Amino acid sequence: MSTQGPAFDADLFVIGGGSGGVRAARMAASRGARVVLAEAGGVAGLGGTCVNVGCIPKKLYSYAAHYAEAFEESHGFGWQGEPPRLDWARLKENRRNELQRLNGVYQKLLLGSGVEVLFGRARLLDAHTVQVDLEAGGDGTSRRITARHILVATGGRPEVPPFPGREHVLTSNEMFDLDPFPARLLVVGGGYIACEFASIFNGLGSKVTQLYRGPQVLRGFDDDVRAFVGVELVKKGIDLRLNAQVSAVERTAAGLRVTLQGGSTVMVDALLCATGRVPNVESLGLDAAGVAQGKDGAVLVDEQYRTSVPSIHAVGDVTARVQLTPVALGEAMVVVDRLFGPAAGKAPRSMDYELIPTAVFTHPSVGTVGMTEAQARKALGAIDVYRSDFKALKHTLSGSSERTLMKLIVDAATDRVVGLHMVGADAGEIVQGFAVAMKAGATKGDFDRTIGIHPTAAEEFVTLREPVTSGAWRQS
């Protein structure tokens, strides 16, 4: 644990007001540390990508995108009425109001904890010194601050690959305020961001085409999940084109003419490129401070989140490890506990990257925790796989052809459940609880002895009895 001392202006200087940075600043201040936080985006930047252009607005728009489908499904339950019409401007306004509220909450939390908040761009001068160029609207000056410890938590940003016409391309940052609403949208990419936006805008009423250069979307997820999601996206109306890439984009009077490799073209009103993110490290002064960097500029850290300069630490997406908000929060707490001691009566925290649950808010959504089948076969050898796909009770009357997939992967030697995967309504909500059980070491026998809640989709996970003998999931 570091002690306070008069040699430095602050005990901790945090660069970046996103999830990890705000958590570290608040918790360090609660331990009695003198903390300064700098955020380049002003008050509207507090909360980082997740609050402003990521998790929160994306989930809100995902909710919005379900309503037209829900109206159609309601007919099977006896409801009649005029089809709903999307007021895109109202949705955008309501989203902006909610995000402004959240920005204000973050600011109050910081100030209430005793953190000094500076709005401006910070850069490292050396191992203990940061210069902050204050934002316009302030006095226009710079401040130089010394700190015993520095935490880099600047997150990441979308990256657009180079091709002719890339200036016409949108990134995920711009999707929430498009004007006008795109009647025809092309989404390039097959990761979770691309698939989520394809689902959202398809649900809101766009004619969506999605291109992915690989053989199936959601690379890195379980192969059954990937195949199942691909089929469901197409059933929802998305024109999913695999093994396809953009070669050029041209603006015309009729819209954007997108030329694909092979020569075919697609005419659209907007093009979202969601092909990856890179660490936000530009103009941070990492070289000046001697901080080592890896691929795409990612800040290299050890298991305690120390960089090559012992006084400088980094957490979250800027390290390009696991790019999830809850992971950044957990990493921030490890740093705070190590530097300033844990909360009273608590043990210092550590970060475990195994069994991290995650969700993809496609339509239908994905929830997953633990190993994929391929990973388990490679790591464990003998495994048992349990799999079921079915039409949810709701859709026996809704008229929808949507199906649900559930899958368990079990270590044959120990009976421990090492992978759990779901595609279906509320998958993230369901998988979160099972992740707790798996973290505690639950076995297939524990699942079998658990009584299901009937009738729910979740009960399927505790009623799977016969392992599948061979073969991957195939569309039924």
Residues 305 and 261 in one domain: no
Residue 2 has pLDDT above 90, yes or no: no
**Residue 268 sits in the same domain as residue 229:** yes
Indicate the pLDDT class of residue 274, thresholds 50, 70 and 90: very high
Residue 37 lies in a domain: yes
Question: Residue 132 in contact with residue 122, Cβ under 8 Å?
Answer: yes
**Which of the following is catalytic: 128, 168, 363, 454?**
454
Does any domain span residue 124?
Answer: yes
Indicate whether 188 and 306 sit together in one domain.
no
Mean pLDDT of 150-167: 96
The per-residue pLDDT for 471 is 67
Whether residue 283 is found in the same domain as residue 336: yes
Residue 88 falls within a domain, yes or no? no
- The yes-or-no verdict on residue 472 having pLDDT over 90 is no
The arithmetic mean of pLDDT across residues 218-226, rounded, is 98
Q: Say whether both 368 and 437 belong to one domain.
A: yes
Amino acid at position 245, single letter: Q
pLDDT at 254 over 50: yes
Which tens digits make up the pLDDT trace of 183-212? 999 999 999 999 999 999 999 999 999 999
- CATH number at 222 reads 3.50.50.60
pLDDT at 341 over 90: yes
Could you give the number of structural domains in the chain? 3
Among 362, 311, 363, 320, smallest CA distance to 338 is for 311
Quick check: 138 pLDDT over 60?
no
Residues 308 and 179 in one domain: no
Looking up residue 448, the CATH number of its domain turns out to be 3.30.390.30
pLDDT (tens digit, 9 = 90+) per residue, 46-65? 999 999 999 999 999 999 99
Residue 72 lies in a domain: no
CA–CA distance, 280 with 448 (Å, rounded to integer): 46
* Average confidence score pLDDT of the chain: 95
pLDDT at position 469 is 75
Looking at the fold, whether 369 and 426 belong to one and the same domain comes out as yes
**Are 188 and 249 in a shared domain?**
yes
Q: Is the predicted pLDDT of residue 27 greater than 50, yes or no?
A: yes
**Which residue from 303, 290, 301 is spatially nearest to 129, judged by alpha carbons?**
290
Residues 11-24, mean pLDDT to the nearest whole number? 98
What percent helix, strand, coil does the chain show, rounded to 5?
A: 35, 25, 40
User: Is 4 contained in some domain?
Assistant: no
> How sure is the predictor about 135, in pLDDT bands with cuts at 50, 70 and 90?
confident
- How many degrees, rounded to 5, is the angle at CA 404 between CA 403 and CA 408? 150
In a shared domain, residues 228 and 194: yes
Could you tell me the residue range of the domain that residue 288 belongs to? 10-52+93-157+278-340
Whether 149 is catalytic is: no
Three-state SS sequence of 243-306: CCCEEEEEEECCEEEEEECCCCEEEECEEEECCCEEECCCCCCHHHHCCCECHHHCECCCCCCE
User: Phi and psi of 390, rounded to 5°?
Assistant: -160, 165
Confidence check: pLDDT of 99 > 80: yes
Judgement on whether residues 378 and 413 belong to the same structural domain of the protein: yes
Kindly state whether residues 28 and 104 are assigned to the same domain.
yes
